[in-house]
Amino acid sequence: MLGPRIEGERGIALITPTLDHLKRNVEWMTRPETTRFWGVRAMDLRPEHAEKRFGENATDPTLVNWTIAFEGEQVGMTGLFHIDWITRDAESGIFIGRHDLYGKGIASEAIRLRTRFAWDELRLRRIHNWIAMRNRGSRRANEKAGYRQMGRFPRSWYRSGQWHDEWLGEILNPDWV
């Protein structure tokens, strides 16, 4: 599913993705500054694959996908994936492609907006994620939105000559009965 527009603070908003947004994200994903904390990922990043992927994102009932906008411009994307509608659990992810804008609070605000939507509109019970321990920016942005460590996965993946531990985080809906 493609998420609806949600206005946040300080010029940050989640907006409905377009095919052009996806193509731009894919371009950003080919740069080392944006993917150095990712495990080995085999993805089809060819532009001709983007249309198929956009269609799948739009129709998949187990995900909600947003473009992140800052001062009216696309800067990245975020989403809830693998939504299990029975246990009401989902995995979350975030990607800011504009690395010149890191550290300005964009991810923290995007995660706050996404989490509120998960509770207020989707009525989810829990969201979890996996973050490389070395990816302090991602861990902090999630912690600021209320995520807490539920575990740690030592030597989860190997890249560029070293093992990486992962931080397993979760947030629970405080209103869940």
Ligand X SMILES: CC(C)(COP(=O)(O)OP(=O)(O)OC[C@H]1O[C@@H](n2cnc3c(N)ncnc32)[C@H](O)[C@@H]1OP(=O)(O)O)[C@@H](O)C(=O)NCCC(=O)NCCS
Residues 121, 108 contacting (CB under 8 angstroms): no
CA atoms within 13 A on the CB side of 120: 7
Q: Counting contacts by CB under 6 A, is residue 136 touching ligand X?
A: yes
CB-nearer residue toward ligand X: 119 or 130: 130
Piece of 2-10, 41-49, 118-126, 138-146 that binds ligand X (CB under 6 A)? 138-146
If one asks whether residue 34 binds ligand X (CB under 6 A), the answer comes out as: yes
Q: What gap in Å lies between CA 11 and CA 13, rounded to an integer?
A: 7
Report d(CA 102, CA 108) in Å as an integer.
11
- Answer yes or no whether residue 26 interacts with ligand X by CB under 6 A: no
Q: Which of residues 98-117 bind ligand X (CB under 6 A)?
A: 102-108
Residue 30: name the closest of 116, 113, 99 by CA.
99
Residues near ligand X (CB under 6 A) are: 34, 37, 76, 94-96, 102-108, 131, 135-138, 140-141
